Chain A
Amino acid sequence: MNTFMQNFPILAIMSLFLGAFITSLVARHSQKAGNFISALSVTLALGFILALFKPVMLDGQIITYWLGGWEPVAGWAIGICLEVDALSLFFGLIVTVAVFVSCLYSFTYMNHDDALPNYYTLFLMLSGSVLGLVLSGDLFNVFVMIEIMTFTAVALTAFRTSYEGALEGAFKYLAVGSLGSTGVLVGIALLYSQLHTLNLAQIAALMPVTQGSSVVLAIAFGFLFIGFGTKAFLFPFHPLAADAHAVAPASISLMISGVLTKCGVYGIIRLTYILFQNANRPVVSYLVTGFGAVSMFVCVTMAFNQHNFKRLLAFHSISQVGYVITVVGLSSALGLGAGLYHAMNHTIFKGLLFLTAGAVQHQTGSLDLDRLGGLSKRMPKTTALFLIGAASISGLPPFNGFASKWMIYQATFNAGLLHHNLFYLAVCVCALLTSVLTLASFIKVTQSVFFGQLPKEYEQVEEVPLAMRLPMWILAVLCVVTGLFPSLVQTYLLTPAVSAIANIPAYVDAAMGAGYAADRSVPGGVIASLPVTNTWTPTAWLALLFSVTCAVAIVAILGSPKDRQHEYISQMGEEESAKYDSFFSGEQAVYSQVGGSDLFWGFKHNWRKYFAVMHNWHSGIVNDYTLYGVAAIAFVLLVCVTTL
């Protein structure tokens, strides 16, 4: 193995952590120098991770790095290890790209704030901890990184302390999030008491898979599952995400929704497929898929009732992570491929949407869906970017959301067929419905923020500067590229990652030395190592759609008179042009925009009982949320103890 290459994982993590410390020293004297250090360290991290792409993704190597050279002795791994297989690298890529974009956006977005040295220090620590989590080959370091991640995320959530609810949101996150961290810690302790090791590879090798596991291991699994579930803000924990996102700076919202939740997803995949290798048991499958499906559906309906742009996005964030968790629970190669694909796409399009929300907030100072309106006149470029993001998350072809949702439907339907199971079919229906509800709430945002009437107070709003648009364009281009070429994504990203999950002995041997897995007869893997087939190939008919559109566009648009709109305004002046105004003649004085939250009345009216229950449920009281968390832990433990 290439020893030089082996240093890259630790260098990537170190460049972020070192960057954090150096930034805090330098930025007190010069913010420019601080910004430079931050940019340098995120670029270095991205570079190191990209350099690992060829050996890990293309050549299928697994790169291990033992801190201080403490390699395993006599089959026992004591030292700290970084182990990068294709699954880790897949998430590492998501993390570093998101961090890079978020950092780039912060430079201009945060320029009105003070205490910027603290911001960048915390930001880089958050990034470093997340990267450390996905690259770690050691369960205790996973916990350490989760702790750093949670605390820096809490601090960054409350970074703008002047915002109403900032401290409240951060406190909720801290209090309920610590339930999850505790869950992980207890799980690790129980696991250590049984297997006497903390190395992921060794745990996977020693896990008694075939001869029914003990009760203690079942409890450990339950705690770890709910711990990682908390980090992904799954169902009973979802109100935290909403409160945190609504007040956090947009660049941090991108991190929380695009990166932190992915750590939860990564943890659950690692846990069920590699550590416990129980993803193919019906109980675990129902548990994971059930939690995912409930999160997916409840959160999308909650998004209907939101008045705050970023709270709405926050609920959608959990809803989309719900999609990912749902298919991860199916324990099929297709399901895993769909889940990973959607996880990646979610980071891209939700990042884009959060950044456009940030742009709106930066220029208007408001996120209130009932007060904003007509911004497309003043911010046309941001509007275009938002529409790309909204089309992607709603799964409209040809954007990336469609490609991954297509695989999700295929995967759930296939699971229903193969297991002859009505539950998976119901999940498939639920996924299809969630998609149309997602679309509905993005139509609502489009209508109430970007189109419609421009309120007087926002008539002087200006477009965001290029420095903020550039990161958004990066994500928008990624949205289109990953949607148009799903076969490339499949070949170079999904298939290696899924094969890595399907090949546990290779993962064990890479850390513990060749032959270790064979000696302990480690089973091959939960799923068969099939290539992820059955992706959607859009290019053929995309050309069609394009040509049809062009043909009709030529007929319909080029024939129309040039620039009527401006002509009339200039001819008649502001007052007399009512004839060519929108349908306002009598009521022009009255601001008659339909408030965002009043759209879709027909739907909400029929579901008023459900929404009343949901309204009571989301009381906003941290005690209640903690109670739900405890109840969820109790439920999962009960299920694990009785059935595993």
Chain B
Amino acid sequence: MNILLYNLFYLLVFPGLLFCILMGVLLSGLDRILVARMQRRVGPPLLQNWYDFLKCMGKETIIPRHARRTVYLFAPVVGFGALITISLFLPVLNGKAAFSGNSDLVVILYLLTLVSVCGMVGASASGSPFAGVGLSREMVAMISYELPFVLVMLSVSLKTVALNPMGAPLTFSLTEIWNYQAAHGPLICHWSLIPAALAMLFVIPCEVGMHPFDVAEAETEICEGMLAEYSGKPLAVYKLTHMVKMYVMCALFYVLFLGGLSTGMAAVDVVIFVLVCALLTFLTMSLPHAVCARFKVEQVFQFYWTWVAALALVSLVLVFFGL
């Protein structure tokens, strides 16, 4: 009974549903304010995205005639579920994930993929040609950031893995990564991993679909692409997914490169964590958003497969040679 209650707490409050939504709303609100200030506007209130979400929830849901009803309605929900599941595996507090054991990078990589796939399948099921173009662009964006992401993943694992020739080592374990950082200091302080950290900073906005890389949702070109047909509650879930994804990617960066720090007081740790997330949001999302114009699809691909992948590769090679 006790275990069940604990699990429900993890699932629904911290670090699960409630905390994710709270952080997502705060970070996305912060992002909007920061962008506005950089453009010399006042910007919306901090909770504007939450109000938008509530408004969408109250609106009528229209299902287009070409749509495949079940898939159209359930895809956003499954995607959101997968995203919340990721948050349960991130050991954000004291290296303890809510459900550890299988918490490894490959699972997180694939769950992130699942989130995007749900978006794409939902868009596909809406039957709109705009959504078709949108999902095709989303897929290309995904291929783009996948290569640097994988390389970052491998360099971090290679650095932190506990070599044990007899038994198979836990290669991609997040707990292992956290423990290594607790013992040797955060990975961002190891110079050989700084290129990988930079590459990861570039991966975040594309994974989230933030402005210079939001080829899939380009409002002005393809009518919000994948979301073209969505309205009402499914749209609200998509918006929420987008916000929570901002938080999850920041938390993932925190775990990979800034983990292992602990003051011993949980409350202080949480505050530090929130501040780091806010800083990451500014660096990776608000700043490029305010500074850059949207890339073309093929430019996104080129950028990630040359510059960002090269950064990550440099780290992988350095780490491989024991630096």
Seen from chain A, the residues whose Cβ lies within 8 Å of a Cβ on chain B are 334, 374, 376-377, 380, 383, 387, 391, 394-397, 402, 406, 409-410, 413-414, 417-418, 420, 422, 425, 428-429, 432-433, 436-437, 439-440, 443-444, 446-447, 451-454, 533-534, 536-538, 540-541, 544-545, 547-549, 551-553, 556-557, 559-561, 564-565, 568-569, 577, 580-584, 592-594, 599-603, 605-606
Q: Smallest distance from the beta carbon of B158 to chain A beta carbons, Å?
A: 7
* Bitwise interface map of B from 90 to 112 toward A, beta carbon under 8 Å scored 1, else 0: 00000000010110001101110
Judge whether B48 is part of the interface by a CB distance below 8 angstroms. no
Please name all residues of chain B whose beta carbon is closer than 8 Å to the beta carbon of A447 when the two chains form the complex: 124, 132, 135-136
Separation of A537 and B170 alpha carbons in the complex (Å):
13
Q: Smallest distance from the beta carbon of A446 to chain B beta carbons, Å?
A: 6
Q: Smallest distance from the beta carbon of B1 to chain A beta carbons, Å?
A: 17
Judge whether B209 is part of the interface by a CB distance below 8 angstroms. no
Residue of A417, A545, A552, A556 ringed by the most chain B CB atoms within 10 A: A556
Say yes or no: A553-B77 contact (C-beta < 8 A), given A545-B82, A582-B66, A582-B127.
Answer: yes
Separation of A545 and B147 alpha carbons in the complex (Å):
27
**A to B CB contacts below 8 Å, 8 in the list:** A387-B71, A397-B114, A418-B165, A425-B158, A436-B143, A446-B121, A451-B68, A540-B102
Please name all residues of chain B whose beta carbon is closer than 8 Å to the beta carbon of A545 when the two chains form the complex: 81-82, 85
Q: Smallest distance from the beta carbon of B169 to chain A beta carbons, Å?
A: 7
Separation of A556 and B143 alpha carbons in the complex (Å):
30
Please name all residues of chain A whose beta carbon is closer than 8 Å to the beta carbon of B65 when the two chains form the complex: 565, 568-569, 577, 580-582
Contacting A537 at CB < 8 Å: which of B73, B101, B136, B234? B101
- The 3 lowest CB-CB distance pairs between A and B, nearest first, are A602-B297, A549-B81, A602-B140
Task: Say whether A429 contacts B66, CB under 8 Å.
Answer: no
* Bitwise interface map of B from 128 to 172 toward A, beta carbon under 8 Å scored 1, else 0: 111011011101101100110011001001100101010111111
Residues of B in contact (CB 8 Å), total: 92
Q: Smallest distance from the beta carbon of A427 to chain B beta carbons, Å?
A: 11
Given contacts A433-B150, A452-B66, A552-B237, 6 further A-B contacts (CB under 8 A): A387-B121, A406-B107, A452-B129, A534-B168, A556-B233, A593-B132
Please name all residues of chain B whose beta carbon is closer than 8 Å to the beta carbon of A334 when the two chains form the complex: 168
* Bitwise interface map of B from 43 to 72 toward A, beta carbon under 8 Å scored 1, else 0: 000000000000001001111111111010
Please name all residues of chain B whose beta carbon is closer than 8 Å to the beta carbon of A605 when the two chains form the complex: 298
Separation of A525 and B232 alpha carbons in the complex (Å):
63
Q: Smallest distance from the beta carbon of B289 to chain A beta carbons, Å?
A: 21
Task: Say whether B232 contacts A606, CB under 8 Å.
Answer: no
Task: Say whether A452 contacts B85, CB under 8 Å.
Answer: no
State which of B175-183, B188-196, B299-307 sits at the interface with chain A: B299-307
Please name all residues of chain A whose beta carbon is closer than 8 Å to the beta carbon of B157 when the two chains form the complex: 413
Please name all residues of chain A whose beta carbon is closer than 8 Å to the beta carbon of B113 when the two chains form the complex: 396, 436, 439
Task: Say whether B171 contacts A414, CB under 8 Å.
Answer: yes
Task: Say whether B143 contacts A417, CB under 8 Å.
Answer: no
Task: Say whether B232 contacts A560, CB under 8 Å.
Answer: yes
Say yes or no: A582-B117 contact (C-beta < 8 A), given A432-B150, A541-B88, A600-B140.
Answer: no
Say yes or no: A548-B300 contact (C-beta < 8 A), given A446-B121, A560-B233.
Answer: no
Judge whether B203 is part of the interface by a CB distance below 8 angstroms. no
Please name all residues of chain A whose beta carbon is closer than 8 Å to the beta carbon of B74 when the two chains form the complex: 553, 557
Please name all residues of chain B whose beta carbon is closer than 8 Å to the beta carbon of A557 when the two chains form the complex: 73-74, 77, 233
Please name all residues of chain B whose beta carbon is closer than 8 Å to the beta carbon of A577 when the two chains form the complex: 65
Q: Give the residue name and chain of the A residue nearest to B299 (CB).
A: A602
Please name all residues of chain B whose beta carbon is closer than 8 Å to the beta carbon of A540 when the two chains form the complex: 99, 101-102
Task: Say whether B130 contacts A559, CB under 8 Å.
Answer: no
Separation of A410 and B233 alpha carbons in the complex (Å):
40
Task: Say whether B107 contacts A397, CB under 8 Å.
Answer: yes
Q: Give the residue name and chain of the B residue nearest to A425 (CB).
A: B154
Q: Smallest distance from the beta carbon of A338 to chain B beta carbons, Å?
A: 11
Please name all residues of chain A whose beta carbon is closer than 8 Å to the beta carbon of B80 when the two chains form the complex: 548, 552
Q: Smallest distance from the beta carbon of B244 to chain A beta carbons, Å?
A: 11
Judge whether B89 is part of the interface by a CB distance below 8 angstroms. yes
Say yes or no: A437-B125 contact (C-beta < 8 A), given A534-B168, A602-B301.
Answer: no
Separation of A568 and B60 alpha carbons in the complex (Å):
13
Task: Say whether A451 contacts B85, CB under 8 Å.
Answer: no
